[in-house]
Amino acid sequence: MAKIFCVANQKGGVGKTTTTVNLAAGLAKVGQRVLMIDLDPQGNATMGSGVDKRKLELTVYDVLLESASVAEARVHSEKCGYDVLGANRELTGAEIELVPLERREKRLKQALLEVDKDYDFVLIDCPPSLSMLTLNGLCCANGVIVPMQCEYFALEGLTDLVNTIKQVHANLNKDLQIIGLLRVMFDPRITLQQQVSEQLKDHFGSKVFNTMIPRNVRLAEAPSYGLPGVIFDPSSKGAQAFIVFAHEMVERIKGM
């Protein structure tokens, strides 16, 4: 059975998409079968996986509105080694179109049942909001990976996400848990980042992943080549950290 993880944080620009595509590529490199789902209408995870969002005939939008199955809408990214259920601007409409529909928050969950046996991991890149799209991701997930920068307001920003996850856990998906907080764009030379990192560990204990993703320019350059950093420059510090993180995830799911 596939383990399904949302990469979520309602803040924009915290590293969700970078985490999703690089973890997907890292897991594929260590032999895992991976489906990456882009739930953000910006389509950055789609483009960053070498799939042109403008040329897609079917996307996650069609899956949510039940006009296509996952098997029909997914594409394989040869360069990245994983499957992609892509997104483009059309997905913006789904937010409103889903409102009057039945089982609207469980559409993705239902659709994924059919491909459950095809994958070890399904990774979902969520938009920077706690919207109906994010809710669809949270309803089908076994866990949430929360990327965060170790900055002053980091902990404060987590409260809304933690509350939403608690509510989804109580009402819609009793499997849901925060599997871990991932420290990203980390710069150990900055004292404040070290302090916030320590606070995170005090507060969340073993929920903080051991792996830290450093700030690394190669990770930031990779999307303009339509690649995750792990594929674009495997020897870079950022890529290496994501490979270590992929191994950590493989270990973490053993107990799940």
Question: Distance between CA atoms of 140 and 123, rounded to whole angstroms?
Answer: 11
Closest CB 183 distance from Mg ion, rounded Å: 18
First to last CA, the chain: 11
Closest CB 102 distance from ligand ADP, rounded Å: 30
Residue among 16 and 29 whose Cβ is closer to ligand ADP: 16
Closest CB 238 distance from ligand ADP, rounded Å: 5
Q: How does strand 34-38 pair with strand 3-7?
A: unpaired
Contact window for Mg ion (CB under 5 A) among 9-17, 30-38, 77-85, 180-188: 9-17
Give the number of other CB atoms < 10 A from CB of residue 136.
28
| Residue 18 near which of ligand ADP, Mg ion, none (CB within 5-8 Å, type-dependent) | ligand ADP
109 touches Mg ion by CB under 5 A: no
Closest CB 24 distance from ligand ADP, rounded Å: 13
| Residue 113 near which of Mg ion, ligand ADP, none (CB within 5-8 Å, type-dependent) | none
- What is the radius of gyration, based on Cα positions, of the chain? 17
Q: Which residues here bind ligand ADP, judged by CB under 6 A?
A: 12-18, 44, 128, 184-185, 213, 215-216, 219-220, 223, 238
CA distances from 115 to 27, 122, 252 (A): 18, 10, 22
Residue among 14 and 165 whose Cβ is closer to ligand ADP: 14
Q: Report the run of H or E that residue 166 belongs to, with start and end.
A: helix 154-171
Residue among 219 and 243 whose Cβ is closer to ligand ADP: 219
Residue among 43 and 68 whose Cβ is closer to ligand ADP: 43
Sheet containing strand 143-148, edge to edge, reads: 75-77, 82-85, 34-38, 121-125, 3-7, 143-148, 178-186, 208-214
13-52 residues near Mg ion, rule: CB under 5 A? 16-17, 44
Residue among 69 and 92 whose Cβ is closer to ligand ADP: 92
Tokens of 212: 């830290």
Q: Report the run of H or E that residue 146 belongs to, with start and end.
A: strand 143-148
